[in-house]
Amino acid sequence: DTGVSQNPRHKITKRGQNVTFRCDPISEHNRLYWYRQTLGQGPEFLTYFQNEAQLEKSRLLSDRFSAERPKGSFSTLEIQRTEQGDSAMYLCASSRGSGEASTQYFGPGTRLTVL
Amino acid sequence: QKEVEQNSGPLSVPEGAIASLNCTYSDRGSQSFFWYRQYSGKSPELIMFIYSNGDKEDGRFTAQLNKASQYVSLLIRDSQPSDSATYLCAVGRSNYQLIWGAGTKLIIKP
């Protein structure tokens, strides 16, 4: 059972460019989550998928952010027209289901730096 | 008031002693409670979860939950320098979303 994987691990981009991150969850997990984390803070919820359906998106999330999970397996998170305030660690997590199966397991994260 | 509160620390504990980490939450309807450890520059890794009032032990770690008082704690016995990290408390508010504390930085002094 391989863990959650994320690519790339690091991304440096210039302000105004678009970036896309990929997350591959644990194979039998049908739930996938995206978070953003900045220094000294806990993970901030961005969005959540159950299979291919995006069921929840943070109200704080700008329209520049979009996520997909087209076949209910891997997911992508795209940020358009990046801003310096987007610099953060982007974390992906997956879980099997609800209740005791709701435990989330994290990937290594993608660190984004916007210059 | 934040939904999940933790003392940011740092909490300094001598090697071999018991480290005690606390977390309070505001939503009485919360059903699941998780402790994660996060090393600097790394992603959170699960230590343990607890759903029922009382204590849950796993090796050197014990989670304690008191729903009436709305707090959950993590005890680390025989603390080791490798336990030095930030400990994140997460509370399950629905069947999928976790609300996170900002974490407590723990330093174990050799």
Test A43 with B8 for CB contact under 8 angstroms: no
Instruction: Using DSSP, state whether A19 is helix, strand or coil.
Output: strand
Enumerate the residues of chain A whose CB falls inside 8 A of the CB of residue B95.
98-99, 102
**CA B95, CA B76: separation in Å to the nearest integer?**
28
Q: CA angle, corner A62, sides to B41 and A16, nearest 5?
A: 75
Cβ of residue A95 closer than 8 Å to a chain B Cβ: yes
Between the CA of residue A23 and those of A4, A17, B66, what are the distances in Å? Answer: 7, 20, 36
The whole-number pLDDT of residue A78 equals: 97
C-alpha closest to that of A106 among B6, B104, B31, B36: B36
Query: What H or E segment, with its residue span, contains residue A37?
Result: strand A31-37
Enumerate the residues of chain B whose CB falls inside 8 A of the CB of residue A89.
43
Between the CA of residue A28 and those of A31, A52, A54, A72, B9, what are the distances in Å? Answer: 9, 14, 18, 11, 37
Enumerate the residues of chain B whose CB falls inside 8 A of the CB of residue A105.
46
Q: Which residue of A29, A104, A110, A113 is the best one to mutate when testing the B interface, meaning the one whose CB has the most B CBs within 10 A?
A: A104
Please give chain A's pLDDT, 115 residues, in tens: 579 999 999 999 999 999 999 999 999 899 999 999 999 999 999 999 999 999 888 887 889 999 999 988 999 999 999 999 999 999 999 998 766 668 899 999 999 999 9
The whole-number pLDDT of residue A98 equals: 67
Strands B104-109 and B11-14: parallel
The whole-number pLDDT of residue A62 equals: 86
A-B C-beta contacts closer than 8 Å? 57
The whole-number pLDDT of residue B29 equals: 86
Strands B45-50 and B71-76: unpaired
The whole-number pLDDT of residue B96 equals: 72
Test A108 with B96 for CB contact under 8 angstroms: no
Please give chain B's pLDDT, 110 residues, in tens: 789 999 999 999 999 999 999 999 999 888 899 999 999 999 999 999 998 889 999 999 999 999 999 999 999 999 999 999 999 999 987 667 889 999 999 999 99
Of A31, A43, A48, the CB nearest to B44: A43
3-state secondary structure chain B: CCCEECCCCCEEEECCCCEEEEEEECCCCCCEEEEEEECCCCCCEEEEEECCCEEEEECCEEEEEECCCCEEEEEECCCCHHHCEEEEEEEECCCCCEEECCCEEEEEEC
What is the DSSP secondary structure assignment for residue A102, as one 8-state letter?
A: G
Cβ of residue A98 closer than 8 Å to a chain B Cβ: yes
Cβ of residue A58 closer than 8 Å to a chain B Cβ: no
The whole-number pLDDT of residue A101 equals: 63
